[in-house]
Structure 1
Protein backbone atom coordinates (compact mmCIF):
# COMPACT_ATOMS: atom_id res chain seq x y z
CA UNK A 1 0.00 0.00 0.00
CA UNK A 2 0.96 3.61 -0.53
CA UNK A 3 1.77 6.36 1.95
CA UNK A 4 -0.21 9.56 1.32
CA UNK A 5 1.87 12.65 2.15
CA UNK A 6 0.12 16.00 2.45
CA UNK A 7 1.60 19.47 2.62
CA UNK A 8 -0.97 21.85 4.11
CA UNK A 9 1.56 24.35 5.48
CA UNK A 10 4.72 25.60 3.79
CA UNK A 11 6.30 26.38 7.18
CA UNK A 12 9.40 28.56 7.55
CA UNK A 13 11.29 29.13 4.30
CA UNK A 14 9.28 26.42 2.47
CA UNK A 15 10.58 23.69 4.76
CA UNK A 16 7.24 21.85 4.80
CA UNK A 17 7.44 20.95 1.13
CA UNK A 18 11.07 19.91 1.52
CA UNK A 19 10.41 17.64 4.52
CA UNK A 20 7.47 15.96 2.78
CA UNK A 21 9.32 15.16 -0.41
CA UNK A 22 12.69 14.35 1.12
CA UNK A 23 11.18 11.86 3.59
CA UNK A 24 8.96 10.51 0.81
CA UNK A 25 11.98 9.91 -1.44
CA UNK A 26 13.65 7.81 1.23
CA UNK A 27 10.46 5.90 2.02
CA UNK A 28 10.20 4.99 -1.67
CA UNK A 29 13.81 3.74 -1.65
CA UNK A 30 12.67 1.35 1.08
CA UNK A 31 10.12 -0.10 -1.33
CA UNK A 32 6.95 1.74 -0.31
CA UNK A 33 5.27 4.02 -2.86
CA UNK A 34 4.30 7.55 -1.85
CA UNK A 35 1.55 9.78 -3.19
CA UNK A 36 1.78 13.54 -2.65
CA UNK A 37 -0.86 16.22 -2.26
CA UNK A 38 0.17 19.83 -1.85
CA UNK A 39 -2.63 22.13 -0.73
CA UNK A 40 -1.98 25.88 -1.24
CA UNK A 41 -1.11 27.65 2.01
CA UNK A 42 -4.29 29.71 2.27
CA UNK A 43 -6.70 27.14 0.82
CA UNK A 44 -7.52 25.62 4.21
CA UNK A 45 -8.26 28.06 7.04
CA UNK A 46 -5.69 27.66 9.77
CA UNK A 47 -5.78 28.66 13.41
CA UNK A 48 -5.11 32.22 12.24
CA UNK A 49 -2.94 34.34 10.00
CA UNK A 50 -0.18 34.10 12.59
CA UNK A 51 0.90 30.79 14.08
CA UNK A 52 0.11 31.95 17.60
CA UNK A 53 -3.45 33.16 16.96
CA UNK A 54 -6.19 31.16 18.68
CA UNK A 55 -8.13 28.90 16.33
CA UNK A 56 -11.38 30.70 17.05
CA UNK A 57 -10.13 33.66 15.01
CA UNK A 58 -10.82 31.74 11.77
CA UNK A 59 -13.72 29.59 12.89
CA UNK A 60 -16.38 29.05 10.23
CA UNK A 61 -14.25 29.90 7.21
CA UNK A 62 -14.57 27.51 4.27
CA UNK A 63 -12.03 25.55 2.24
CA UNK A 64 -10.99 26.85 -1.17
CA UNK A 65 -13.03 25.22 -3.98
CA UNK A 66 -10.03 23.76 -5.83
CA UNK A 67 -8.56 22.41 -2.61
CA UNK A 68 -11.90 20.85 -1.75
CA UNK A 69 -11.90 18.94 -5.04
CA UNK A 70 -8.39 17.69 -4.35
CA UNK A 71 -9.32 16.55 -0.86
CA UNK A 72 -12.52 14.83 -1.99
CA UNK A 73 -10.55 12.65 -4.41
CA UNK A 74 -9.08 10.70 -1.48
CA UNK A 75 -12.37 9.90 0.27
CA UNK A 76 -12.93 6.15 0.54
CA UNK A 77 -9.37 5.22 -0.46
CA UNK A 78 -7.02 3.02 1.56
CA UNK A 79 -3.40 3.82 2.45
CA UNK A 80 -0.72 2.42 4.69
CA UNK A 81 -0.56 5.82 6.41
CA UNK A 82 -1.24 9.54 5.94
CA UNK A 83 1.48 12.02 6.91
CA UNK A 84 1.40 15.80 7.25
CA UNK A 85 3.48 18.42 9.08
CA UNK A 86 1.81 20.81 11.55
CA UNK A 87 -1.30 19.73 9.72
CA UNK A 88 -4.50 21.69 9.16
CA UNK A 89 -6.36 18.54 8.10
CA UNK A 90 -7.73 17.32 11.47
CA UNK A 91 -10.11 20.29 11.71
CA UNK A 92 -11.83 19.56 8.38
CA UNK A 93 -15.40 18.31 8.75
CA UNK A 94 -17.69 16.84 6.07
CA UNK A 95 -21.34 17.76 5.49
CA UNK A 96 -22.46 14.94 7.79
CA UNK A 97 -20.31 16.48 10.57
CA UNK A 98 -17.79 13.60 10.52
CA UNK A 99 -14.09 14.31 10.30
CA UNK A 100 -12.64 14.36 6.79
CA UNK A 101 -9.66 12.23 7.78
CA UNK A 102 -11.97 9.51 9.08
CA UNK A 103 -13.27 9.11 5.52
CA UNK A 104 -9.88 7.77 4.40
CA UNK A 105 -8.94 4.24 5.46
CA UNK A 106 -5.53 4.94 6.99
CA UNK A 107 -3.93 6.02 10.27
CA UNK A 108 -3.13 9.73 10.28
CA UNK A 109 0.26 10.96 11.55
CA UNK A 110 0.57 14.64 12.44
CA UNK A 111 4.28 15.56 12.60
CA UNK A 112 4.40 18.43 15.10
CA UNK A 113 7.55 20.46 14.50
CA UNK A 114 7.25 23.05 17.27
CA UNK A 115 5.50 23.28 20.63
CA UNK A 116 2.10 21.54 20.62
CA UNK A 117 0.56 24.53 22.39
CA UNK A 118 0.31 26.18 18.96
CA UNK A 119 -1.62 23.20 17.56
CA UNK A 120 -4.29 22.74 20.20
CA UNK A 121 -7.11 23.17 17.71
CA UNK A 122 -5.88 20.28 15.54
CA UNK A 123 -4.56 18.00 18.28
CA UNK A 124 -7.88 18.27 20.10
CA UNK A 125 -9.85 16.78 17.19
CA UNK A 126 -11.15 13.31 18.11
CA UNK A 127 -10.13 11.41 14.99
CA UNK A 128 -10.61 7.64 15.03
CA UNK A 129 -7.07 6.77 13.98
CA UNK A 130 -4.85 9.63 15.16
CA UNK A 131 -1.09 9.42 15.78
CA UNK A 132 1.62 12.04 16.17
CA UNK A 133 5.35 12.52 15.73
CA UNK A 134 7.41 15.16 17.53
CA UNK A 135 11.10 16.01 17.60
CA UNK A 136 11.02 16.73 21.34
CA UNK A 137 10.48 14.09 24.05
CA UNK A 138 8.77 16.60 26.35
CA UNK A 139 6.36 17.54 23.59
CA UNK A 140 5.56 13.85 23.13
CA UNK A 141 4.69 13.56 26.82
CA UNK A 142 2.58 16.71 26.62
CA UNK A 143 0.54 15.35 23.70
CA UNK A 144 0.10 11.95 25.36
CA UNK A 145 -1.07 13.58 28.57
CA UNK A 146 -3.51 16.16 27.27
CA UNK A 147 -4.79 14.48 24.10
CA UNK A 148 -5.49 10.87 25.18
CA UNK A 149 -7.54 10.15 22.03
CA UNK A 150 -4.26 10.26 20.07
CA UNK A 151 -3.30 6.59 20.04
CA UNK A 152 0.48 7.03 20.22
CA UNK A 153 3.11 9.77 20.02
CA UNK A 154 6.64 9.00 18.84
CA UNK A 155 9.79 11.07 19.02
CA UNK A 156 11.43 11.30 15.59
CA UNK A 157 14.35 13.63 14.97
CA UNK A 158 14.56 15.34 11.60
CA UNK A 159 17.48 14.68 9.29
CA UNK A 160 19.91 16.70 7.18
CA UNK A 161 21.76 16.62 3.88
CA UNK A 162 25.50 16.46 3.32
CA UNK A 163 26.56 18.74 0.46
CA UNK A 164 30.29 19.19 1.09
CA UNK A 165 33.28 16.86 0.90
CA UNK A 166 36.39 16.79 3.07
CA UNK A 167 38.44 18.08 0.15
CA UNK A 168 36.51 21.38 0.16
CA UNK A 169 36.71 22.23 3.86
CA UNK A 170 39.43 24.83 3.29
CA UNK A 171 36.90 26.85 1.26
CA UNK A 172 34.68 27.46 4.29
CA UNK A 173 34.20 31.08 5.28
CA UNK A 174 35.79 31.86 8.63
CA UNK A 175 32.67 33.49 10.05
CA UNK A 176 29.84 32.47 12.36
CA UNK A 177 26.53 31.86 10.61
CA UNK A 178 23.24 32.62 12.37
CA UNK A 179 20.00 31.55 10.68
CA UNK A 180 16.35 32.25 11.41
CA UNK A 181 13.79 35.00 11.65
CA UNK A 182 14.30 37.94 14.02
CA UNK A 183 11.44 39.01 16.22
CA UNK A 184 11.98 41.72 18.78
CA UNK A 185 11.15 40.22 22.19
CA UNK A 186 9.98 43.61 23.46
CA UNK A 187 6.94 43.30 21.18
CA UNK A 188 5.77 40.22 23.08
CA UNK A 189 6.49 41.73 26.48
CA UNK A 190 4.32 44.73 25.56
CA UNK A 191 1.53 42.35 24.61
CA UNK A 192 1.89 40.56 27.95
CA UNK A 193 1.53 43.90 29.75
CA UNK A 194 -1.64 44.56 27.74
CA UNK A 195 -3.29 41.36 29.02
CA UNK A 196 -5.67 41.45 31.98
CA UNK A 197 -3.86 41.68 35.32
CA UNK A 198 -4.44 38.03 36.25
CA UNK A 199 -3.01 36.72 32.97
CA UNK A 200 -0.16 39.25 33.03
CA UNK A 201 0.87 38.19 36.54
CA UNK A 202 0.78 34.50 35.63
CA UNK A 203 2.82 34.98 32.47
CA UNK A 204 5.47 37.05 34.24
CA UNK A 205 5.78 34.36 36.93
CA UNK A 206 6.15 31.73 34.20
CA UNK A 207 8.94 33.72 32.59
CA UNK A 208 10.69 34.06 35.94
CA UNK A 209 10.59 30.29 36.41
CA UNK A 210 11.93 29.71 32.89
CA UNK A 211 14.76 32.14 33.53
CA UNK A 212 15.73 30.54 36.85
CA UNK A 213 15.71 26.90 35.71
CA UNK A 214 17.43 25.88 32.49
CA UNK A 215 15.44 22.63 32.33
CA UNK A 216 12.05 24.25 32.93
CA UNK A 217 9.54 23.84 30.10
CA UNK A 218 6.79 26.33 29.42
CA UNK A 219 4.14 23.74 30.35
CA UNK A 220 5.84 22.97 33.67
CA UNK A 221 6.13 26.69 34.37
CA UNK A 222 2.34 26.91 34.04
CA UNK A 223 1.87 23.80 36.20
CA UNK A 224 3.83 25.52 38.98
CA UNK A 225 1.29 28.34 38.98
CA UNK A 226 -1.91 26.32 38.88
CA UNK A 227 -0.70 23.24 40.74
CA UNK A 228 -2.81 23.97 43.80
CA UNK A 229 -5.91 25.08 41.95
CA UNK A 230 -8.93 23.02 40.96
CA UNK A 231 -8.46 23.50 37.23
CA UNK A 232 -9.84 20.76 35.00
CA UNK A 233 -7.26 18.78 33.01
CA UNK A 234 -9.06 19.64 29.76
CA UNK A 235 -8.57 23.34 30.46
CA UNK A 236 -4.80 23.23 30.82
CA UNK A 237 -3.90 23.19 27.08
CA UNK A 238 -6.39 26.00 26.47
CA UNK A 239 -4.71 28.14 29.11
CA UNK A 240 -1.24 27.36 27.76
CA UNK A 241 -2.44 28.26 24.27
CA UNK A 242 -3.77 31.55 25.64
CA UNK A 243 -0.41 32.19 27.28
CA UNK A 244 1.56 31.58 24.07
CA UNK A 245 3.22 34.99 24.51
CA UNK A 246 5.40 33.44 27.22
CA UNK A 247 6.91 30.99 24.74
CA UNK A 248 7.27 33.61 22.02
CA UNK A 249 9.02 36.05 24.33
CA UNK A 250 11.23 33.33 25.79
CA UNK A 251 12.56 32.01 22.48
CA UNK A 252 13.14 35.46 20.99
CA UNK A 253 14.65 36.96 24.14
CA UNK A 254 17.29 34.23 24.35
CA UNK A 255 18.00 34.30 20.63
CA UNK A 256 18.71 38.02 20.89
CA UNK A 257 20.79 37.46 24.01
CA UNK A 258 22.94 34.89 22.17
CA UNK A 259 23.37 37.10 19.11
CA UNK A 260 24.25 40.11 21.26
CA UNK A 261 26.97 38.08 22.98
CA UNK A 262 28.37 36.87 19.65
CA UNK A 263 28.41 40.37 18.15
CA UNK A 264 30.23 41.65 21.22
CA UNK A 265 33.01 39.06 20.77
CA UNK A 266 34.15 40.88 17.64
CA UNK A 267 34.17 37.72 15.51
CA UNK A 268 32.71 38.04 12.02
CA UNK A 269 28.98 37.28 12.08
CA UNK A 270 26.84 36.50 9.03
CA UNK A 271 23.07 36.51 9.58
CA UNK A 272 20.62 34.92 7.15
CA UNK A 273 16.90 35.42 7.74
CA UNK A 274 13.97 37.78 7.68
CA UNK A 275 13.24 40.92 9.71
CA UNK A 276 16.75 41.50 11.03
CA UNK A 277 16.56 45.13 9.94
CA UNK A 278 14.89 45.80 13.32
CA UNK A 279 17.79 44.25 15.29
CA UNK A 280 19.56 47.04 17.16
CA UNK A 281 23.10 45.77 16.38
CA UNK A 282 22.55 44.91 12.71
CA UNK A 283 24.83 47.75 11.61
CA UNK A 284 27.75 46.62 13.76
CA UNK A 285 30.99 46.52 11.71
CA UNK A 286 31.46 42.76 12.24
CA UNK A 287 27.90 41.87 11.14
CA UNK A 288 26.71 41.08 7.62
CA UNK A 289 23.00 40.50 7.06
CA UNK A 290 21.70 38.54 4.08
CA UNK A 291 18.12 37.70 3.19
CA UNK A 292 16.91 34.19 3.90
CA UNK A 293 17.30 31.34 1.44
CA UNK A 294 14.76 28.62 0.68
CA UNK A 295 15.12 25.61 2.94
CA UNK A 296 16.43 23.38 0.17
CA UNK A 297 19.31 25.85 -0.32
CA UNK A 298 20.10 26.15 3.38
CA UNK A 299 22.46 23.15 3.44
CA UNK A 300 24.75 24.77 0.89
CA UNK A 301 24.73 27.96 2.92
CA UNK A 302 25.57 26.17 6.18
CA UNK A 303 28.25 24.06 4.50
CA UNK A 304 30.00 27.25 3.41
CA UNK A 305 30.76 28.35 6.98
CA UNK A 306 33.29 27.28 9.58
CA UNK A 307 30.78 27.74 12.45
CA UNK A 308 27.03 27.87 13.05
CA UNK A 309 25.33 29.30 16.15
CA UNK A 310 21.92 27.99 17.19
CA UNK A 311 19.47 29.19 19.83
CA UNK A 312 16.47 26.93 20.43
CA UNK A 313 15.59 27.01 24.15
CA UNK A 314 12.03 25.90 23.33
CA UNK A 315 13.34 22.35 22.69
CA UNK A 316 14.31 21.06 26.14
CA UNK A 317 14.02 17.47 24.97
CA UNK A 318 14.98 17.75 21.32
CA UNK A 319 17.35 19.30 18.80
CA UNK A 320 16.64 21.85 16.08
CA UNK A 321 17.22 20.49 12.56
CA UNK A 322 19.77 23.23 11.78
CA UNK A 323 22.10 21.58 14.31
CA UNK A 324 21.98 18.37 12.26
CA UNK A 325 22.56 20.40 9.11
CA UNK A 326 25.75 21.74 10.66
CA UNK A 327 27.14 18.40 11.80
CA UNK A 328 26.29 16.88 8.40
CA UNK A 329 28.54 19.40 6.69
CA UNK A 330 31.62 19.66 8.91
CA UNK A 331 30.42 22.98 10.31
CA UNK A 332 31.25 23.50 13.99
CA UNK A 333 27.97 24.03 15.87
CA UNK A 334 27.29 25.92 19.08
CA UNK A 335 23.86 25.54 20.66
CA UNK A 336 22.23 26.22 24.01
CA UNK A 337 22.75 23.66 26.76
CA UNK A 338 20.19 21.33 28.28
CA UNK A 339 20.49 17.86 29.79
CA UNK A 340 18.95 16.16 26.75
CA UNK A 341 21.43 17.70 24.32
CA UNK A 342 24.29 16.97 26.66
CA UNK A 343 23.36 13.29 26.45
CA UNK A 344 22.86 13.26 22.67
CA UNK A 345 25.42 15.77 21.42
CA UNK A 346 28.26 15.66 23.93
CA UNK A 347 31.66 16.10 22.27
CA UNK A 348 30.17 16.83 18.83
CA UNK A 349 28.89 20.40 19.41
CA UNK A 350 29.76 23.26 21.73
CA UNK A 351 27.09 24.29 24.23
CA UNK A 352 26.59 27.53 26.14
CA UNK A 353 24.55 28.27 29.25
CA UNK A 354 21.23 30.07 29.30
CA UNK A 355 22.86 33.15 30.82
CA UNK A 356 24.89 33.58 27.56
CA UNK A 357 28.01 34.44 29.52
CA UNK A 358 30.30 36.57 27.34
CA UNK A 359 33.56 34.96 28.51
CA UNK A 360 32.17 31.44 28.00
CA UNK A 361 30.86 32.16 24.52
CA UNK A 362 34.03 33.99 23.52
CA UNK A 363 36.18 31.04 24.64
CA UNK A 364 34.05 28.45 22.81
CA UNK A 365 33.91 30.48 19.60
CA UNK A 366 37.67 31.00 19.74
CA UNK A 367 38.17 27.21 19.93
CA UNK A 368 35.83 26.65 16.99
CA UNK A 369 37.33 29.38 14.82
CA UNK A 370 41.04 29.33 15.64
CA UNK A 371 41.97 25.87 16.94
CA UNK A 372 42.22 23.73 13.81
CA UNK A 373 42.91 20.50 15.69
CA UNK A 374 39.86 20.98 17.93
CA UNK A 375 37.70 21.94 14.94
CA UNK A 376 38.71 18.91 12.86
CA UNK A 377 38.28 16.42 15.70
CA UNK A 378 34.87 17.78 16.76
CA UNK A 379 33.42 18.06 13.26
CA UNK A 380 34.66 14.59 12.28
CA UNK A 381 32.98 13.04 15.34
CA UNK A 382 29.88 15.05 14.54
CA UNK A 383 29.81 13.87 10.94
CA UNK A 384 30.09 10.24 12.04
CA UNK A 385 27.14 10.75 14.40
CA UNK A 386 25.18 12.27 11.53
CA UNK A 387 25.90 9.31 9.28
CA UNK A 388 24.81 6.88 12.00
CA UNK A 389 21.58 8.59 13.07
CA UNK A 390 20.53 11.73 11.20
CA UNK A 391 20.51 11.05 7.47
CA UNK A 392 17.11 11.26 5.79
CA UNK A 393 17.38 7.51 5.23
CA UNK A 394 17.56 7.04 9.02
CA UNK A 395 14.53 9.29 9.49
CA UNK A 396 12.51 7.36 6.90
CA UNK A 397 13.40 4.04 8.54
CA UNK A 398 12.16 5.27 11.93
CA UNK A 399 8.92 6.56 10.42
CA UNK A 400 8.24 3.40 8.41
CA UNK A 401 8.86 1.27 11.49
CA UNK A 402 5.93 3.03 13.17
CA UNK A 403 3.74 2.88 10.06
CA UNK A 404 4.22 -0.89 9.84
CA UNK A 405 3.69 -1.52 13.55
CA UNK A 406 0.21 -0.01 13.84
Structure 2
Protein backbone atom coordinates (compact mmCIF):
# COMPACT_ATOMS: atom_id res chain seq x y z
CA UNK A 1 0.00 0.00 0.00
CA UNK A 2 1.55 3.33 -1.04
CA UNK A 3 0.74 6.43 0.99
CA UNK A 4 3.56 8.61 -0.40
CA UNK A 5 1.21 11.49 -1.16
CA UNK A 6 0.07 11.57 2.47
CA UNK A 7 2.28 13.18 5.09
CA UNK A 8 2.16 12.50 8.81
CA UNK A 9 3.57 15.31 10.95
CA UNK A 10 5.12 14.14 14.21
CA UNK A 11 5.94 16.62 16.98
CA UNK A 12 9.00 16.18 19.14
CA UNK A 13 9.15 18.08 22.41
CA UNK A 14 10.44 18.05 25.96
CA UNK A 15 9.57 15.48 28.57
CA UNK A 16 11.02 14.49 31.93
CA UNK A 17 13.32 12.08 30.15
CA UNK A 18 14.04 11.73 26.44
CA UNK A 19 12.15 8.48 25.90
CA UNK A 20 9.29 10.28 24.12
CA UNK A 21 11.76 11.60 21.55
CA UNK A 22 12.80 7.98 20.87
CA UNK A 23 9.13 7.00 20.54
CA UNK A 24 8.69 9.68 17.86
CA UNK A 25 11.77 8.43 15.96
CA UNK A 26 10.51 4.85 16.07
CA UNK A 27 7.01 5.91 15.00
CA UNK A 28 8.47 7.89 12.10
CA UNK A 29 10.42 4.84 10.91
CA UNK A 30 7.34 2.62 11.21
CA UNK A 31 5.10 5.05 9.30
CA UNK A 32 7.76 5.26 6.58
CA UNK A 33 7.84 1.46 6.35
CA UNK A 34 4.08 1.62 5.76
CA UNK A 35 4.67 4.02 2.85
CA UNK A 36 3.82 7.36 4.45
CA UNK A 37 5.85 10.53 4.04
CA UNK A 38 6.86 11.68 7.53
CA UNK A 39 7.93 15.09 8.78
CA UNK A 40 9.21 15.60 12.33
CA UNK A 41 8.76 19.09 13.78
CA UNK A 42 11.01 19.59 16.80
CA UNK A 43 9.19 22.01 19.09
CA UNK A 44 12.50 22.60 20.91
CA UNK A 45 14.07 24.05 17.76
CA UNK A 46 14.13 27.83 17.35
CA UNK A 47 12.93 27.38 13.75
CA UNK A 48 9.99 25.04 14.38
CA UNK A 49 7.39 27.62 13.27
CA UNK A 50 9.11 28.17 9.92
CA UNK A 51 9.51 24.41 9.48
CA UNK A 52 5.81 23.81 10.22
CA UNK A 53 4.81 26.56 7.78
CA UNK A 54 7.01 24.97 5.09
CA UNK A 55 5.45 21.56 5.60
CA UNK A 56 1.92 22.97 5.48
CA UNK A 57 2.68 24.78 2.20
CA UNK A 58 4.46 21.87 0.50
CA UNK A 59 2.72 18.73 1.78
CA UNK A 60 -0.73 17.22 2.05
CA UNK A 61 -0.93 16.50 5.78
CA UNK A 62 -2.93 13.40 6.66
CA UNK A 63 -2.73 13.96 10.43
CA UNK A 64 -0.50 15.35 13.19
CA UNK A 65 0.76 13.16 16.05
CA UNK A 66 2.31 14.04 19.37
CA UNK A 67 3.04 12.38 22.67
CA UNK A 68 1.12 13.71 25.68
CA UNK A 69 -0.63 16.41 23.58
CA UNK A 70 2.55 18.37 22.82
CA UNK A 71 1.77 21.06 20.26
CA UNK A 72 -1.95 21.10 21.04
CA UNK A 73 -1.81 24.84 21.78
CA UNK A 74 -0.72 25.89 18.25
CA UNK A 75 -3.24 28.38 16.88
CA UNK A 76 -4.15 30.29 13.75
CA UNK A 77 -5.41 33.54 15.22
CA UNK A 78 -7.67 32.45 18.06
CA UNK A 79 -8.56 29.07 16.50
CA UNK A 80 -6.78 25.76 16.97
CA UNK A 81 -4.51 24.91 14.02
CA UNK A 82 -6.15 21.48 13.79
CA UNK A 83 -9.70 22.85 13.75
CA UNK A 84 -8.67 25.58 11.29
CA UNK A 85 -7.12 23.06 8.86
CA UNK A 86 -9.68 20.34 9.58
CA UNK A 87 -6.78 17.91 10.09
CA UNK A 88 -6.74 15.84 13.29
CA UNK A 89 -4.10 15.91 15.99
CA UNK A 90 -3.59 12.44 17.40
CA UNK A 91 -2.34 12.75 20.95
CA UNK A 92 -0.82 9.55 22.28
CA UNK A 93 -0.90 9.87 26.07
CA UNK A 94 1.67 7.78 27.89
CA UNK A 95 0.97 9.47 31.23
CA UNK A 96 -2.26 9.65 33.17
CA UNK A 97 -4.46 12.36 31.60
CA UNK A 98 -4.70 14.24 34.91
CA UNK A 99 -1.14 15.44 34.27
CA UNK A 100 -2.24 17.02 31.00
CA UNK A 101 -5.60 18.57 31.93
CA UNK A 102 -4.47 22.06 30.88
CA UNK A 103 -3.41 20.79 27.47
CA UNK A 104 -6.53 18.69 26.98
CA UNK A 105 -8.76 21.64 27.91
CA UNK A 106 -7.50 23.79 25.01
CA UNK A 107 -10.89 23.48 23.27
CA UNK A 108 -9.53 21.55 20.28
CA UNK A 109 -12.32 19.58 18.59
CA UNK A 110 -10.31 17.92 15.81
CA UNK A 111 -8.44 15.83 18.34
CA UNK A 112 -8.01 12.12 19.02
CA UNK A 113 -6.65 11.28 22.47
CA UNK A 114 -5.47 7.76 23.17
CA UNK A 115 -4.61 6.25 26.53
CA UNK A 116 -2.49 3.22 27.42
CA UNK A 117 -4.69 2.16 30.34
CA UNK A 118 -8.45 1.54 30.50
CA UNK A 119 -8.73 3.51 33.76
CA UNK A 120 -7.12 6.51 32.02
CA UNK A 121 -9.79 6.30 29.33
CA UNK A 122 -12.50 6.15 31.99
CA UNK A 123 -10.98 9.26 33.59
CA UNK A 124 -11.08 11.10 30.24
CA UNK A 125 -14.69 10.14 29.65
CA UNK A 126 -15.77 11.00 33.19
CA UNK A 127 -13.90 14.21 33.94
CA UNK A 128 -13.03 15.82 30.58
CA UNK A 129 -16.01 16.77 28.47
CA UNK A 130 -14.23 17.90 25.31
CA UNK A 131 -15.96 16.96 22.04
CA UNK A 132 -12.86 15.13 20.80
CA UNK A 133 -12.44 11.38 20.33
CA UNK A 134 -11.16 9.35 23.27
CA UNK A 135 -9.75 5.87 22.60
CA UNK A 136 -7.77 3.11 24.31
CA UNK A 137 -4.59 2.00 22.52
CA UNK A 138 -2.32 -0.11 24.74
CA UNK A 139 1.43 -0.21 24.32
CA UNK A 140 2.57 -2.73 21.76
CA UNK A 141 5.78 -4.38 20.78
CA UNK A 142 8.06 -3.31 17.97
CA UNK A 143 7.36 -4.62 14.49
CA UNK A 144 11.13 -5.06 14.04
CA UNK A 145 13.18 -7.62 15.93
CA UNK A 146 14.76 -4.68 17.74
CA UNK A 147 13.33 -1.16 17.88
CA UNK A 148 14.90 1.15 15.33
CA UNK A 149 16.81 3.30 17.82
CA UNK A 150 17.39 0.77 20.58
CA UNK A 151 20.25 -1.57 21.20
CA UNK A 152 19.93 -5.19 22.27
CA UNK A 153 20.36 -5.59 26.05
CA UNK A 154 23.79 -7.24 25.68
CA UNK A 155 25.11 -4.16 23.82
CA UNK A 156 23.96 -1.62 26.43
CA UNK A 157 26.48 -0.09 28.80
CA UNK A 158 24.20 0.02 31.84
CA UNK A 159 24.45 -2.51 34.66
CA UNK A 160 20.92 -2.12 35.98
CA UNK A 161 17.63 -1.58 34.20
CA UNK A 162 15.07 0.10 36.46
CA UNK A 163 11.54 0.05 35.09
CA UNK A 164 9.61 2.09 37.61
CA UNK A 165 9.08 5.56 38.88
CA UNK A 166 11.77 7.59 40.55
CA UNK A 167 9.31 9.78 42.46
CA UNK A 168 7.84 9.03 45.86
CA UNK A 169 4.03 8.88 45.52
CA UNK A 170 3.63 10.24 49.08
CA UNK A 171 5.37 13.44 47.95
CA UNK A 172 2.63 13.99 45.37
CA UNK A 173 -0.20 13.00 47.72
CA UNK A 174 0.94 15.71 50.15
CA UNK A 175 0.80 18.26 47.35
CA UNK A 176 -2.82 17.38 46.61
CA UNK A 177 -3.96 18.99 49.84
CA UNK A 178 -2.64 22.31 48.50
CA UNK A 179 -5.06 22.21 45.55
CA UNK A 180 -8.63 23.40 45.81
CA UNK A 181 -11.06 20.93 47.36
CA UNK A 182 -12.52 19.81 44.00
CA UNK A 183 -9.14 18.90 42.53
CA UNK A 184 -8.16 17.12 45.76
CA UNK A 185 -11.41 15.17 45.68
CA UNK A 186 -10.78 14.29 42.03
CA UNK A 187 -7.35 12.86 42.88
CA UNK A 188 -8.80 10.81 45.73
CA UNK A 189 -11.46 9.49 43.33
CA UNK A 190 -8.72 8.40 40.92
CA UNK A 191 -6.49 6.97 43.65
CA UNK A 192 -8.82 5.72 46.42
CA UNK A 193 -5.85 4.77 48.62
CA UNK A 194 -4.94 8.46 48.85
CA UNK A 195 -6.32 10.66 51.57
CA UNK A 196 -6.64 14.41 51.80
Residues 1:196 and 1:116: Cα distance change in structure 2 (over 3 Å)? closer
- Which residue, 208, 213, 219 being the options, matches 2:190? 219
Query: Could you tell me how far 1:125 is from its partner in structure 2?
Result: 2.5
Residues 1:188 and 1:152: Cα distance change in structure 2 (over 3 Å)? closer
Matches within 5 A, 1:146-161: 146-160=128-142, 161=146
SS of residue matched to 1:89: coil
Matches within 5 A, 1:276-355: none
Q: CA–CA distance in 1 between the matches of 2:191 and 2:163?
A: 28
Q: CA–CA distance in 2 between the matches of 1:134 and 1:200?
A: 21
SS of residue matched to 1:6: strand
RMSD, aligned α-carbons: 3.7
For residues 329-381 of structure 1, the C-alpha deviation after alignment (integer angstroms, 9 at most, x for no partner) is xxxxxxxxxxxxxxxxxxxxxxxxxxxxxxxxxxxxxxxxxxxxxxxxxxxxx
Residues 1:189 and 1:117: Cα distance change in structure 2 (over 3 Å)? closer
* 1:81 counterpart residue number: 63
- Which residue, 68, 71, 80 being the options, matches 1:99? 80
Q: CA–CA distance in 2 between the matches of 1:186 and 1:15?
A: 25
Q: CA–CA distance in 2 between the matches of 1:176 and 1:75?
A: 44
Query: Could you tell me how far 1:84 is from its partner in structure 2?
Result: 0.7
Query: Could you tell me how far 1:103 is from its partner in structure 2?
Result: 3.8
- Which residue, 169, 174, 182 being the options, matches 2:166? 182
Query: Could you tell me how far 1:28 is from its partner in structure 2?
Result: 1.3
TM-score, normalised to structure 1, is 0.37
Q: CA–CA distance in 2 between the matches of 1:197 and 1:90?
A: 26
SS of residue matched to 2:83: helix
Contact 1:134 1:157 in 2 (8 A): no
Who wins on radius of gyration, i.e. which is larger?
A: 1
Q: CA–CA distance in 2 between the matches of 1:201 and 1:144?
A: 19
How many equivalent residue pairs?
179
Contact 1:140 1:155 in 2 (8 A): no
Contact 2:32 2:38 in 1 (8 A): yes
SS of residue matched to 1:28: helix
Higher relative contact order (CA 8 A, sep 6+): 1
Q: CA–CA distance in 1 between the matches of 2:110 and 2:180?
A: 41
* 1:118 counterpart residue number: 99
Matched, 1:71 2:52: yes
Q: CA–CA distance in 2 between the matches of 1:157 and 1:30?
A: 19
Contact 2:42 2:48 in 1 (8 A): no
Structure that is richer in strand per residue:
2
TM-score, normalised to structure 2, is 0.70
| Higher mean displacement: 177-186 or 129-138 | 177-186
- Which residue, 4, 28, 40 being the options, matches 2:9? 4
Query: Could you tell me how far 1:191 is from its partner in structure 2?
Result: 3.3
Structure that is richer in helix per residue:
1
Query: Could you tell me how far 1:198 is from its partner in structure 2?
Result: 5.1
Query: Could you tell me how far 1:88 is from its partner in structure 2?
Result: 2.8
Q: CA–CA distance in 1 between the matches of 2:130 and 2:180?
A: 32
Contact 2:10 2:65 in 1 (8 A): yes
SS of residue matched to 2:107: coil
Q: CA–CA distance in 2 between the matches of 1:129 and 1:71?
A: 18
